Amino acid sequence: MPKLRWLSHSCFWLEAGGKKILIDPFLSGNPLARENPEMLRPDYILLTHGHGDHLGDGLAIAKSSGATIVAPNELAVYCNRQGATVHPMHIGGGWDFDFGRVKLTIAHHGSGGGDDGTLYLGNPCGFLVFSEGKTIYHAGDTGVFYDMKLIGEMHPVDVALLPIGDNFTMGPADAVKAVELLAPKTVIPMHYDTFGLIKQDPHAFAAEARKKGAKVVVLEVGGEYEF
């Protein structure tokens, strides 16, 4: 059974298909994170976009662990130039890895990097991960979009990881609409409470999202969900 551990913000540690997969590893400078990035030894690092709160410690962990970074092409090329092993992909594309399949979805957001966040690093993405007969959707940073319905129709989602923070991404009300469109079995909210601009009550979101027929799991930082 795949296992997810929430390391706070949009960062998850996924164990699936016999591999360890780290998604959006924002740990240094993250007031909620408890994990020491130097202790993490993933096999893969999935990056949804180049913003500091997603790329995070990705380069350092990739270099210390030898993990392969999986990211949209421009971000992958950037990481490769910084010395990381990368597997470039792009929106709509899938690839069969040794733990399962990864497919990139759209995300409506930015992806600037560099010192002031204006270095062009391509488009942001979401990830579909198919492993052990289960489908996980990490939406990345995005507003709600109607094609979430298409994602759910083509790839019935077991666990959807959705931002609810508002301000930079969809907020709770729009995330409830996302749950309606995706129709996932289970939803785990993310990208909230890390800093003041994205303070939210995940339990209020959960109460509304449950009305759409989904199971909602609100994880504590460090909390795990097996499915």
Tell me the Cα Rg of the chain: 16
**CB nearer to Mn ion: pick between 167 and 211:** 167
Residues that contact Mn ion, how many (by CB under 5 A): 2
Residue 69: enclosing H or E segment and its boundaries? strand 68-72
The interface mask with Mn ion, positions 50-89, x = CB under 5 A, is ---x------------------------------------
Rounded to a whole number of angstroms, the minimum distance from the CB of residue 163 to Mn ion is 7
Rounded to a whole number of angstroms, the minimum distance from the CB of residue 185 to Ni ion is 26
The span of 58-66, 81-89, 121-129, 138-146 binding Mn ion (CB under 5 A) equals 138-146
Closest-CA residue to 148 (of 129, 174, 122, 110)? 174
Closest-CA residue to 23 (of 152, 129, 155)? 129
The interface mask with Mn ion, positions 34-53, x = CB under 5 A, is -------------------x
Contact positions vs Ni ion (CB under 5 A): 51, 141
Cα distance between residue 132 and residue 193, in whole Å: 32
How does DSSP assign 86-135, residue by residue? EEEE-TT-EEEETTEEEEEE---S---BSTTS-B------EEEEEETTEE
User: Which among Mn ion, Ni ion, none contacts residue 193 (Cβ within 5 to 8 A by kind)?
Assistant: none
Residues engaged in binding Mn ion (CB under 5 A):
53, 141
